[in-house]
Amino acid sequence: MSVQKSVRIPLVATLVAGLIALPMTTLAQTEAAPVEDGLPIGQEVLPVGQTYVAETHGDWEVRCIRAEEGQPEPCQLYQLLLDENGGAVAEFNVFDLPNEGEVVAGATIVTPLDTLLTPGLRLRVDTGNWAEFPFSFCQPIGCFARLGLTESNLASFRAGGAAFVALVPLPAPDQVVQLQASLRGFTAGFAALEARNEAAIALFEQLRAAEGQAPAAD
């Protein structure tokens, strides 16, 4: 699996790709308000800027960031990666990009702070070849590796059964931790992501055009 190691995101893509990773702690689902005896009993209103799960496809979630009413909401695909004991270890985020070059999508993998950075992070699909990536930076929530994906890479994800992520823990530099990301639902999830972000970009362009046509204030 040959994966591009650097991405230059076009300005128009900043709406949907400017988010490096979405927090895994927000799990609110968008649903219709429940009705009891014909009377709606209301539903939680998420604050602007909060992450929520918009759709679920197989083992992937489409996560979006709540925006002001009438404003576009950027979204990404998300999967939480677990160890063999079921403990949360890493986050796998995938976002689409405008088809203006070889790199058509990107991914961000967030690992624990006690990850040894010098060996980098490795990724492969099923029994394919490993691809190695450097870590870009660390924040209090973890360390970030950013990946550029081509159409060929996306085809591997769509056709594959699992993607494997390998990293080295800082406390045990002689060991390699291998995590598995299920690819069940990736095809449908990425298609839904593209549709949402295309609509978001279209709305963004409409709002920008409307601002340009607005009369200047006296």
DSSP string, 107-153: EEEEE-TTB-STT-EEEEETTS--EEE-EEEEETTEEEEEEEEEHHH
| pLDDT of 121 | 98
Contact indicator for 145, 135 with CB cutoff of 8 Å: yes
The per-residue pLDDT for 218 is 55
Per-residue pLDDT, 63? 96
Q: Cα 190 to the chain's mean position, in Å?
A: 10
Residue pair 125/3 in contact by the 8 Å Cβ criterion: no
Say what the pLDDT of residue 42 is.
Answer: 64
What the chain holds in terms of domains, given with CATH numbers, is: 14-32+47-192 (2.60.40.1880)
Say what the pLDDT of residue 36 is. 63
Q: 158 in the Ramachandran plot: left (φ > 0), alpha (ψ -120 to 50) or beta?
A: alpha
pLDDT at 192: 96
Mapped onto helix, strand or coil, the DSSP state of residue 203 is helix
Cβ–Cβ under 8 Å, residues 204 and 72: yes
pTM: predicted TM-score of the whole model, two decimal places: 0.76
Residue by residue, pLDDT tens for the chain (218 residues) are 645 433 333 333 444 444 444 444 433 444 445 566 667 766 666 688 889 999 999 999 999 999 888 777 889 999 999 998 999 999 999 999 877 789 999 999 999 999 999 999 999 999 999 999 999 999 999 999 999 999 999 999 999 999 999 999 999 999 999 999 999 999 999 999 999 888 877 877 887 787 777 665 55
Per-residue model confidence (pLDDT) at position 15: 44
> What is residue 214's predicted lDDT score, i.e. its pLDDT?
61
State the pLDDT at residue 43. 61
Give the model's pLDDT for residue 216. 58
